[in-house]
Amino acid sequence: MSLGIEDNVALVTASSSGLGKASARVLAKEDANVVLNGRNKTDINEAVSTLDELGDGNVIGVQGDLTEKEDIKNLVQTTVNEFGRLDHLVTSAGGPPSGPFTETTDDDWYHAFDLLVMSVVRLVRESIPHLEDGQGGTIVNITSRSVKEAIDSLVLSNSVRMGVIGLEKTLSKELAPEIRANAVLPGPHETSRIQELVEQSVERGEYDSYEDGLQARGEGIPLKRIGDPNELGEVVAFLSSPRSSYLNGVAIPIDGGAGAANL
């Protein structure tokens, strides 16, 4: 089923790897023009080379730090300069460091807020005029299941990411009907970070093989496995498309049913 976003322009942040890259991959396969973003130029170039072959749209990369105001302005402006429009904004960012509350500093809190919340604020602010010009602009925020249930040793993520959901819900009311805003709340997915952690556990002798280690991470999840990043990417692309035209202001957990919250 075509999502109907051929020739649309999508900007996906933190997309040289991980869940951002998976979302960009699906958008590219749907023949959208996609702008990738990351801090490492080599990683961006490799991602562009891979994703540009997937569909009929064009894929470009823009290097930039999401905690820097001018980098965000340049990211949005480069997108519009290159393609003449912006239809879909997908925000993603790497997680802040883990650790207990007693070991976090003021600088840790300010950096986490800049990375997770202010990056979204600034991206949306720069993007609104362009999203309004199209025929159905969308914003999709990739956050974390930690906004539903606190995760041990992730006090920064548990606390700060909730601000993104409050923002997303507010935007869904203030920007409609021209722009829809939604969010996805990922649980564990087989990203490069998870792959690295599993490989390290195998090296320590905790598991006999990578497959055993990966299976262990799926214990406690009703579907008995962790997610494939592309599965999250499919939901992001759906929320960015007219196929989801009556979804607005929702935050969808993508965790295989692992969450215990009723809402």
CATH of the domain at 84: 3.40.50.720
Are 93 and 158 part of one and the same domain?
Answer: yes
The DSSP code sequence of 50-119 is HHTTSSSS-EEEEE--TT-HHHHHHHHHHHHHHHS---EEEE--PPPPPB-GGG--HHHHHHHHIIIIIH
Distance CA 76, CA 73 (A): 5
Domain extent, residue 85, equals 9-188+228-251
- Those residues with Cβ within 8 angstroms of residue 152's Cβ, 6 or more apart along the chain or in another chain: none
Task: Return the closest-CA partner of residue 184 out of 238, 144, 227, 124.
Answer: 144
pLDDT beyond 80 at 1: no
User: How does pLDDT run across 53-97, given as a tens digit for each residue?
Assistant: 999 999 999 999 999 999 999 999 999 999 999 999 999 998 898
Are 206 and 157 part of one and the same domain?
Answer: no
Are 41 and 155 part of one and the same domain?
Answer: yes
Give the chain's domain count.
2
Average pLDDT estimate for 217-233: 95
Residue 2: inside a domain: no
Q: What is the pLDDT of residue 134?
A: 82
- Please return the burial class of 25, using the count of CB atoms within 10 Å of its CB with bins 0-12, 13-18 and 19+: buried
Average pLDDT estimate for 104-119: 97
First to last CA, the chain: 30
Q: What is the pLDDT of residue 124?
A: 98
Q: Which two tokens stand for residue 115?
A: 């990375």
Average pLDDT estimate for 184-213: 93
Residues facing 60 on adjacent strands: 35
Q: What is the pLDDT of residue 146?
A: 93
Are 165 and 200 part of one and the same domain?
Answer: no
Query: What percent of the chain shows pLDDT beyond 90?
Result: 92
User: How does pLDDT run across 136-194, given as a tens digit for each residue?
Assistant: 899 999 999 999 999 999 999 999 999 999 999 999 999 999 999 999 999 999 998 88
Mean pLDDT in the chain? Answer: 96
Average pLDDT estimate for 188-214: 92
Average pLDDT estimate for 18-29: 97
Task: Return the closest-CA partner of residue 115 out of 165, 161, 62.
Answer: 161
Fill in the amino acid letter for 187: G
Residues facing 38 on adjacent strands: 63
Q: What is the pLDDT of residue 262?
A: 84
Q: What is the pLDDT of residue 130?
A: 98
Average pLDDT estimate for 30-40: 98
Q: What is the pLDDT of residue 20?
A: 97
